[in-house]
């Protein structure tokens, strides 16, 4: 999976339903940066750090050498969060100090830093959604003045019924770019599912309406936009639409 | 199926009325000329099935109308679609934060309005028929 927009000041998000997609996306992002003489900062859970190390190795990256040369730094998400988080949310001076401290541990690079973080995901999964969004906003503020880009991943996807469309909108609005974990197959699956739910007669007009609707946050594929719109607005049909899309994507993955 | 359209611009109200006449004949369109008239209308039955709301209006603005609607228990679940001349990301984000169901830019000319009218008719058909 190629991560476009990995450039300084950008704030990228991926909704990833599983480790396979996550490992591929993050390792690709990091390996690509290291190959271009950028440095890399990873703030992740122990399981995911091991996953990324394996995936980086598969891509020909000597992880131990990169760490020894201070081109790659991996930190624990839990411990890093504790440096600046309070019961009332993240605190900017402490956050800035913590992240700048981590960046300073990397070897100087004229090419910038690729950061990857899942502290927001930890907070989100624990129900501290407002604090996760606040932390995203602190990252965006930090990125304005650092030569770094940040890639965030949430272990949920647009088909996840535990994530409300409004919650997903909040996450999306906090980022500059979104990485799609599904390709054009999602577009077709959503079209088919909506058509089946509302009938041929209404489908064309409804599709045109969704197409001209505006959303906050970064640009998304047609399938992602239409799915979020359907989840938010087609309540009588949305569960069926989501289920049909999920089934079709699973069938395609097996095939 | 009843749509309440709120817009202070009489020209835009007339264009939308024509669009509904042409592309959404199954919908009954009511129009309010400002935010105050919209609140007054929403205070009394029958409740519209959808509100189509301009946001940039003098007096009680569209965002205030939207927040008022979202604060009323008896209007829970009422779809509010913003139809604005502004496509500014800041306005779009603010509308969603205030509880907009969807957001559309008026665009130029008649055809974007026809598309919205046609789409709203389909939207209300597929959501209201099932829920009744």
Output the pLDDT for position B109: 82
pLDDT of residue A205: 96
Environment class of A59 (CB within 10 Å of its CB; exposed 0-12, middle 13-18, buried 19+): middle
A216/B89 Cβ within 8 A:
yes
- 3-class DSSP state of B73: helix
Minimal CA separation from B88 to chain A, in Å: 10
Residue A199 in contact with partner chain B when CB distance is under 8 A: yes
Question: How many whole angstroms separate alpha carbon B87 and alpha carbon B123?
Answer: 22
The predicted model gives A57-82 an average pLDDT of: 97
What number is the average pLDDT over the span B107-120? 91
Chain B contact present for A234, CB below 8 A: yes
Question: For chain B, how many residues are written?
Answer: 132
CA distance B57 to B66: 12
Q: Shortest CA distance to A218 belongs to which of A155, A162, A152, A163?
A: A152
Contact status, residue A84 vs residue A98, Cβ threshold 8 Å: yes
**What pLDDT sits at residue B129?**
60
Give the pLDDT mean for A31-49.
Answer: 96
**Confidence (pLDDT) at B46:** 94
Q: What is the pLDDT of residue A131?
A: 96
| Amino acid A236: pLDDT | 85
User: In the prediction, which pLDDT does B131 show?
Assistant: 45
Please give, rounded to a whole number of angstroms, the shortest distance from the CA of A206 to a CA of chain B: 5
State whether residue A209 sits within 8 Å of chain B by CB.
yes
Q: What is the mean pLDDT of residues A227-252?
A: 90
Chain A hits for B122, Cβ within 8 Å? 198, 202-203, 205-206, 209
Contacting residues of B for A240, CB less than 8 Å apart: none
Q: What is the pLDDT of residue B27?
A: 96
What is the Cα–Cα distance from A216 to B93, expressed in whole angstroms? 5
Q: Has residue B1 got a pLDDT over 90? A: yes
| Interchain proximity A212–B125, CB inside 8 Å | no
Confidence at residue A163, expressed as pLDDT on a 0 to 100 scale = 74
pLDDT in tens, B33-74: 999 999 999 999 999 999 999 999 999 999 999 999 999 999
Pick B102's closest partner by Cβ from A166, A205, A213: A213
In angstroms, what separates the C-alpha of B115 from chain A's closest C-alpha? 7
Residue A87: pLDDT band (50, 70, 90) is: very high
- Given this model, what pLDDT does residue A75 score? 98
Any idea which of A37-41, A153-157, B2-6, B40-44 has the lowest mean pLDDT?
A153-157
Mean predicted confidence (pLDDT) in B76-92: 93
CB contact A253 to B (< 8 Å):
no
The residues facing A15 across adjacent strands are: A154
Mean pLDDT, range B104-132, rounded to an integer: 86
* A202 to chain B: closest CA residue: B122
pLDDT at A252: 82
CB contact A214 to B (< 8 Å): yes
A200 touches chain B (CB under 8 A): no
- Note the pLDDT of residue B132: 39
């Amino acid at each position: 999976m190629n991560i476009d927009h990995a450039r300084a000041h950008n704030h990228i998000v991926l909704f990833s339903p599983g480790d396979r997609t996550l490992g591929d996306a993050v390792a690709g992002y990091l390996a690509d940066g290291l190959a271009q003489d950028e440095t890399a900062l990873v703030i992740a859970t122990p399981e995911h750090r091991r996953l990324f190390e394996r995936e980086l190795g598969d891509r020909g990256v000597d992880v131990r050498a990169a760490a020894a040369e201070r081109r790659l730094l991996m930190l624990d998400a839990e411990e890093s969060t504790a440096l600046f988080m309070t019961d009332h949310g993240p605190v900017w001076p402490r956050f800035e100090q913590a992240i700048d401290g981590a960046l300073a541990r990397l070897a100087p690079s004229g090419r910038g830093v690729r950061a990857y973080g899942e502290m927001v995901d930890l907070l989100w999964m624990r129900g501290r959604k407002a604090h996760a969004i606040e932390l995203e906003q602190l990252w965006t503020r930090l990125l304005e003045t650092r030569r770094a880009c940040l890639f965030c991943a949430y272990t949920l996807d647009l088909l996840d019924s535990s994530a409300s469309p409004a919650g997903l909108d909040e996450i999306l609005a906090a980022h500059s770019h979104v990485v799609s974990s599904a390709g054009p197959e999602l577009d077709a699956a959503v079209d088919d599912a909506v058509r089946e739910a509302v009938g041929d007669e209404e489908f064309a007009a409804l599709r045109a309406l969704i197409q001209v609707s505006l959303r906050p946050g970064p640009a998304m594929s047609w399938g992602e936009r239409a799915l979020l719109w359907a989840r938010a607005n087609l309540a009588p049909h949305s569960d069926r639409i989501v289920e049909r899309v999920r089934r079709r994507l699973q069938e395609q993955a097996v095939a | 199926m009843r749509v309440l359209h709120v817009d202070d611009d009489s020209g835009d109200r007339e264009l939308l009325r024509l669009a509904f006449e042409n592309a959404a004949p199954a919908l009954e369109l009511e129009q309010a000329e400002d935010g105050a008239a919209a609140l007054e209308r929403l205070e009394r039955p029958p409740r519209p099935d959808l509100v189509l709301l301009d946001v940039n209006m003098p007096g009680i603005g569209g965002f205030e109308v939207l927040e008022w609607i979202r604060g009323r228990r008896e209007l829970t679940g009422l779809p509010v679609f913003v139809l604005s001349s502004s496509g500014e990301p800041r306005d779009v984000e603010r509308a969603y934060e205030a509880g907009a169901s969807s957001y559309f830019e008026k665009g130029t000319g008649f055809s974007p309005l026809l598309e919205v009218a046609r789409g709203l008719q389909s939207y209300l058909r597929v959501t209201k028929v099932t829920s009744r």
